[in-house]
Amino acid sequence: MRVLCIGDVVSPAGISFLRRKLPRLKAELGVQATIVNGENASVGNGLLPADAEALFAVGADVVTGGNHTLQRREILPYLSEHSQLLRPANLPESCSGGGVYELDFGSVRLAVISLMGQVFFTNPPDSPFAVLERLLRQITTPLVLVDFHAESTGEKLTLAHAFDGRVSAIVGTHTHVLTADEQILPQGTGYISDLGMTGPFCSVLGIDPACTISRMRDHLPTRFHFANTPPVLQGVWLDLDEKTGRCLQICRVFLKDS
């Protein structure tokens, strides 16, 4: 099975670029499942229902979450009603929505898990290690893909090695920078530290640099806005063995207008 994973969609421009590029990319690669991180696609941070709808409409099969997923109150009922929109599975049970969705292809199912790291987050969630252990006791399909939304590369690599051979792939999100460390770990788990971003490339993680300079260098109270620069689409595609669940191939994707 070929799976496409798209890095954090940032801003309406990121959604528009996805709408323009994704159909052809999926057709050219022969993708069967498309997973998109969408925790931060809306103006003003977080994800609003209309933007979640837009991500599904442009071709996402599952939209994964992160630390901003619950930021907008409007998304809470949508999360409860749309199980293909995930929030991190290691948030408390009392939170709206769920952190796992199984895509059913008839003869085979792909379980997609959204998890969040603990390192460098204020108010961190439960241990991703403990929660993934618990989830894997319940999941029966060998095809398991984890979006690990975390700040620390060390935490991402540690989770990946701890679960090597027990999940098909662990792809990192959250830093908005596409890393060059895609690999297949010794027991067959595909890994990359970060899928990067789908949004304005010449920016600070999608934000206009003038805003971050004002806040970081000048210590001024500054409202952030998205950069108005040409967008890119970043992520990876992976080939997964449907019988063993092992990752056979992982390859970076980086699209921009030429």
Q: Give the interface with Fe ion as residue ranges (CB under 5 A).
A: 66-67, 174
Identity of the residue, 38 or 66, whose beta carbon is nearer to Fe ion in the bound complex: 66
Is there a catalytic annotation at residue 68? yes
Identity of the residue, 51 or 110, whose beta carbon is nearer to Fe ion in the bound complex: 51
Long-range pairs for 20-25: beta carbons < 8 A, 24 or more residues apart: 21/233, 21/255, 22/58, 22/59, 22/233, 23/58, 23/59, 25/233, 25/253, 25/255
Nearest to 97 by CA among 81, 113, 115: 81
Smallest gap from residue 37 Cβ to Fe ion (A): 8
Residues 6+ apart with CB under 8 A from 64: 35, 36, 37, 38, 39, 86, 112, 114, 147, 149, 173
Catalytic residue chosen out of the listed positions 68, 149, 174, 176: 68
Smallest gap from residue 7 Cβ to Fe ion (A): 11
Q: Among positive and negative, which fits the CA dihedral 13, 19, 21, 26? A: positive
Identity of the residue, 21 or 174, whose beta carbon is nearer to Fe ion in the bound complex: 174
Smallest gap from residue 175 Cβ to Fe ion (A): 8
In the chain, what's the furthest Cα-to-Cα distance?
58
Identity of the residue, 39 or 208, whose beta carbon is nearer to Fe ion in the bound complex: 39
Smallest gap from residue 151 Cβ to Fe ion (A): 8
Which residues are identified as catalytic?
Answer: 68
